[in-house]
Structure 1
């Protein structure tokens, strides 16, 4: 989505990868890891509308992983599958293993690596000059499953392992899940339905990314959500941090929905 990086590397909601939709084969890849890394560094997406974590941490990790995947001969689809295995493995651990200080870094590392690989598949596609709607579809399916299962796993962990002060705490993962999924779907639909400006239209000058916005988006960045699992060793600390992030996500969800509705309510400009 254009306004937040809570779930995925791209802000447009479209990161096609794989075989070219027109049937063309992927272009030649750089011969060395260093050459691949240099080419990726020169072809990064705009920092507009993303938090500092996504810009300076996740994209850079994804860049290194994409260059390594290129040298290993992996396809973007295969990198997407690796991302899903890492992420879903961490999610399964949350649901099945009793929280502890040993589990916390393992879950965090699995989620962070999955997130970085989620960035790497799109960067690898750009490096190989390949794209496909099937790649975009696969990426969105994995992302949607990730958001749904992550908070479901927290709900299961709360029920199985936590000494909750009240049953109302079981509603927190459900609220977090609702905010995450609605924001994800709302952003995708807005991007698909919003009229595109004509190529070369007047007033479409590059806009310098806002530092305030990049900081304000940090609480709803998926990387920060991953970080809260570092608190799994202490029930109170984890519940407090998770509930705080949930509240922020709900507020941002409402703000984004209002913004997107206003944008889509503006009638399109008449054709010249």
Structure 2
């Protein structure tokens, strides 16, 4: 089962040391009960959708925040499990990879739209600047995801850091850009000022990281 994991060097800390090990266990369980990778992908989407619904519509209590976080953490672990299951069983396919990317492409903006909804309803429309920040976060995250995926297919994947060469500190530098870290920050959702401060910090960090990353990918494509 260890061999079914991707190399973790250079990946964000939560993804590397928490989510992928959780995904490995979920993949083993899915294999035991006979689930296909696509079934795991759809199950991941269902957990994520349920978590987004709680964030968007439920009163921002500590119980709701904990429930939403658990749903999203499970959905994220299953997002890692589908690929590991495909590699474990030798059933990987372009169609499965495509489905995984499509679900991810929906998951990223839906999180921020759910947060925008929470900001709007809990303040009765009074904190529109927070709603605008969440919408901006959705745009930035989606553009970065699409730009990274497209760059890989256009040939810039070879410019990435080779597996096994990135030091551990890189994973911690990238931690704020891991959607799993944002899921954990949802635990502070009942305390508006605290969550808003964390969220705005992550937005600014993401804008800077996306700018650097996309510029690097564009430069690599121009050199081909």
CA distance in 1, matches of 2:156, 2:127: 47
After TM superposition, list the pairs within 5 Å mapping 1:119-198 onto structure 2: 119-162=80-123, 166-194=127-155
Kept after mapping to 2: 8 A contact 1:162/1:235: no
5+ long unaligned stretches in structure 1: 1-39, 198-203, 268-272
After TM superposition, list the pairs within 5 Å mapping 1:161-240 onto structure 2: 161-162=122-123, 166-194=127-155, 207-240=164-197
After TM superposition, list the pairs within 5 Å mapping 1:43-54 onto structure 2: 43-54=4-15
Classify the secondary structure of the residue corresponding to 1:102. helix
2:27 to 42, 58, 66: 66
CA distance in 1, matches of 2:11, 2:104: 17
Classify the secondary structure of the residue corresponding to 2:5. coil
Report the TM-score, using the length of structure 2 for normalisation: 0.93
Kept after mapping to 2: 8 A contact 1:180/1:249: yes
Q: Deviations over 1:109-154 (max 9, x none)?
A: 0110000000000000011111212111111111111112111111
Kept after mapping to 2: 8 A contact 1:152/1:174: yes
CA distance in 1, matches of 2:129, 2:110: 20
5+ long unaligned stretches in structure 2: none
Question: In structure 1, what is the equivalent of residue 215 of structure 2?
Answer: 258
CA distance in 2, matches of 1:245, 1:52: 15
Deviation at 1:229, TM superposition (A): 0.5
CA distance in 2, matches of 1:241, 1:164: 20
Question: In structure 1, what is the equivalent of residue 201 of structure 2?
Answer: 244
Deviation at 1:263, TM superposition (A): 0.7
Classify the secondary structure of the residue corresponding to 2:91. coil
Deviation at 1:74, TM superposition (A): 0.5
Question: In structure 2, what is the equivalent of residue 15 of structure 1?
Answer: none
Deviation at 1:45, TM superposition (A): 1.4
Distance 1:196 1:107, change over 3 A: closer
Structure with the larger helix share: 2
Number of aligned residue pairs: 222
Report the TM-score, using the length of structure 1 for normalisation: 0.77
